[in-house]
Chains A and B, each alone.
Chain A
Amino acid sequence: MNPSTQGDLVVEDLAVHYGGVQAVNSVSFTVGAGRCLGIIGANGAGKTSTLKALMGLVPRKVGTLRLGDHDLTKVKPKDIVRHGIGYVPEGRHVFTGLTVEKNLLLGAYLRSWKGKTREKLAEVYEMFPVLGEMQHRLAGALSGGQQQMLAIGRALMSEPRLVLLDEPSMGLSPKLVEEILGTLQRLSASGLGLLLVEQNAKLTFEATETCVVMENGRIAMTGSSAELAHDPLVRQIYLGL
């Protein structure tokens, strides 16, 4: 399961409409295999819609969408998961009424729950010991930070090559945001590709190498995270300067 160079996620000309509203408009980018791409932008800029569209959760129009050699333009969400894309939704969206363990197992819904999935479960518990401690508790009883870890763990259970993360820092205290950053860096170091959507520019710039800035459903600019951190447009969005 070496992440091959063939595993790039290529998105060309993505568009999303809701009713009369164009939420995402001709968005194109590539996430190299095992690399990290960040998407930042204001609320309503179309970041979340972009991720949902990639997962097939909202109706979309897309020119090219492929992961490595697999064409994903027409496939259903379950095939996207099967081809190795995991998704951590905004606001965590864990299954609150189910146990931590059930939540994780459901992450591997498309696989058998025996054998390899058990190993993967142990791996996730090793990565997030707190989840192991609370495996029989209901997910709804977890704190915000723990739920975020659970959501990430759930996405890892399908053994993805690339994980889409939507605002993992949302509603978390600065200390927990640091922890999330550490987690992302560990994931990245393990060779997993990340597509990180964030409002927290600091976190994004530290966790990623390259970033795109979205504004009004379009990509306003693309660049290395280090450069963007000092770019006037980025400062305008985040500081209004």
Chain B
Amino acid sequence: MQVLLQTLVGGLSFGAVYALVAMGFSIVYRTMGLVNFAHGQVVMVGAYAASTFSMSSRLPFILAIVVAMVVTGLIALVMERVLRPLENKDFDLMLIGTIGFGVVLEALATIIWGATGHAVPTPVETGPLDLFGVRVRTYNLVVLGIAAVATVLLLLFLQRTKRGAAMQAVAMDHEAATAVGIHVGRSNAIAFAIGAGLAALAGGLVGPLLYVSPTLGGTLGIKGFAAAILGGFGNIGGAIAGGLAIGLLDSYASGQFQGYSDLVVFLAFTVIIMIRPTGFFGERTVNRA
């Protein structure tokens, strides 16, 4: 029972990271109908940037993550600008274009930070907490807390601000959005930058949990994407549910099947998608007639 609960909490904090990655995928997809296959690499760049700033510049951990979010946001703006000619035209080509960007980012990270990677010390020094008899790493709770705050802020932005409403409008009907005066390109760029910011947040938070290396993005990106699809692609609530589900599935599978956990996770994912192609909550698509 104790072990199960401990796995649960560990799974949930990884799940929170996957949820952040998944939200990044979803917000980009619902506003511009693009699957950003470079998203995982953006997470990786965010993890490197955050850990570098906090370790070498001695910035406070949270501030380092914020700086990393700005850095990845700028990268996203470049990506969106380059791929803009393909928007609302060829979906598959754009997808391949983002794969190309992912390769570039991974190469750049290797050039800047080297191929070997580094470990990140946990920013929370206190020992494990005892919650109802379950020993929980304090940092796991910090991750959960920050992810929850970020989610709330994102939802407030989408629901309470004019810009947020405009972004949703673009997602639902980009032509009608243009016709009321919304600049669709700018809205897409902002969506892309927010997605990248979420990626950097996820990367910054996951750094102390994992070993930061150029290949970190691959697995995180793919699992985050799987999470987004599992919840219902483009659906923010779905992304959270999907992220937590993948996190739990992941930690359960590594407990039960050790090295084969990826195999189990992806087979399970494939089966679920075949049964329910639109995920738990259904896809929030853009109009792509």
Contact = CB atoms under 8 A, between A and B. Distances in A.
**Chain A directly contacts chain B within the complex, with at least one CB pair under 8 Å:** yes
Q: Which of B173, B179, B181, B182 has the most CB of A within 10 A?
A: B179
Interface residues of B, number: 18
Contact of A106 (B175, B182, B183, B284): B182
Contacts, number: 64
A93 B168 CA distance: 14
Given A98-B165, A102-B165, A77 B179 contact: yes
Interface string B169-211: 1011101111111110000000000000000000000000000
B179 A98 contact: no
B239 to A, nearest CB: 16
A49 interface: no
B180 A158 contact: yes
Interface string A88-107: 01000111111000100111
Q: Place the interface of chain A in its size category.
A: 20 to 34
Q: Which of A95, A105, A107 has the most CB of B within 10 A?
A: A95
A82 B183 CA distance: 13
Contacts of A106: 165-166, 169, 177, 180, 182
B89 interface: no
B162 interface: yes
- Chain B at the A interface: SS class: helix
A89 B169 CA distance: 15
A89 B178 CA distance: 11
A94 B166 CA distance: 13
A110 B171 CA distance: 18
Nearest to B175: A57
Contact of B179 (A82, A87, A102): A87
B181 A110 contact: yes
Contacts of A76: 183
Interface of B: 162, 165-166, 168-169, 171-173, 175-183, 284
Given A76-B183, A95-B173, A105-B165, 10 more contacts: A57-B175, A77-B179, A81-B180, A95-B168, A97-B171, A98-B169, A106-B166, A106-B177, A106-B180, A158-B181
